[in-house]
Structure 1
Amino acid sequence: MSSSPVTTIAEIGKHEGQAVTIRGWLYNLRESGKLLFPQFRDGSGIIQGVVPKNAVPPEVFDAIKTLTQESSVIVEGKVRADKRAHGGYELDVANVHVVQRVPESSPYPITPKEHGTDFLMEHRHLWVRSQRQAAILRVRAEIVKAARDFFDERGFTLTDPPIITPAACEGTSTLFPVDYFDEQAFLTQSGQLYVEATAMALGKVYSFGPTFRAEKSKTRRHLTEFWMVEPEVAYADLDDVMELAEGLITF
């Protein structure tokens, strides 16, 4: 591979007309006569490559032609604007380095067909590569950032209560017990007790972390593990709490 600059697909437009290197995975591959149209993804986006057989060495053409879905590749090519393309750009591929090729005997298991929940959860580490799951993770990240920004901009201090705790904040029937050096302990149901105490020191505080409830999760209303944001404000009355909650929801 040459020394063309490494970029992400999200920033590919900054390099129009230039040779670049992309590190990612094969998302899809389409063939039309002596043309190959591989699609590459790198976590930031998807771009289509164009590979004419007479424009690249035979070994490069053959390497791309035999790629399998989600094979790991480092691709070099020239960025070209195309309004018809996904994202507005295509990559005229010049070279490819196959870091790892997914074998046909053990292909990427997530396909467009319907899969059961058990199957998808067993392959969760691969399922997150799909567009829908990746989008959900990005949306979640934006929500988490927005919640933190809301409280930070209003003078709250983030505090992190312990995950392992000796006491129950909610019902004692929904606790996950933990073997803690022969002491009785549980996975936290809430950071409430710790955050309330911290509010007496800092005035306005919040926690944002994992909580655990020993309830059956196969319903629309229960999760055994989830993340919860919990603010506490010293001397706040009901009107203050309502104003804070409404402000967070509309932020």
Structure 2
Amino acid sequence: MIQVRLLLGVVFLFALGACSQESSETVELGSEVVEASDLSVEELGRETEEMFALYQTLEASAEEVMGAEKFDKHFEPYAVENKRVLALHGPVFRRELVKKLEQAVEVRITEHSDREDFILPDLSIPEKVPSYEYRSVTLDSSQRLALLEGVRSLSGVTDEGTACPFVAHHRIDLIGEDGDSSRIEVCFKCGEFYWDEVNLFAPQGLIEVIRDAVMKAGLKPVRDWQALAIERAKED
């Protein structure tokens, strides 16, 4: 699913010229109106994969289409699906995150290295690189509540992402009573997330909520990550 998500970060840009995102908890699915609260993560994942499959099918025959007007018409079915499906991502992501935060007995934020920190002068990255954790903070009850209220306050409008490479230096672990951890990786450079359980586009404004939580925990959204990695490597 992560491959589909990353590819969507590029191909959805076509649809932005054809339709705009609506702020709503309901989305038209054919002749029906479905509330985001009625849709499971798995169902939305399948909808997203089917949407991308439609794009691939249309792309395969795009070379036969001549002229901008005909080209737009050719991809119109994808534009319609793009608007419909992506509008559901933000509300479902927010719903699931609120649920996890409410159930969590511990919320931990960690600063860590990324493979990109070990890039060489020729722009290559060694096949094997170390993984470092720099600082980790467990949120206290007031910090957890502030994070929960921040997520609840979001509109739910989907943040459709960018083509920026995903380079995560922060991890949020949501730990339940059973000890199971749900993990969210955060890239402040592009303002995007990868959640191991909910591989969807996040709602608009979530990156600001997480940035606030990181700073209140005494951590930093931005550091010289490459320098940190090099320094830690010297200590090994």
- TM-score > 0.5, shorter chain as reference: no
Q: Which structure's CA Rg is the greater one?
A: 1
Instruction: Report 1 or 2 for greater relative contact order, CA contacts < 8 Å, sequence distance ≥ 6.
Output: 2
Greater strand content: 1
**For this structure pair, what is the TM-score category when the shorter chain's length is used for normalisation?**
under 0.3
TM-score with structure 1 setting the length: 0.24
Greater helix content: 2
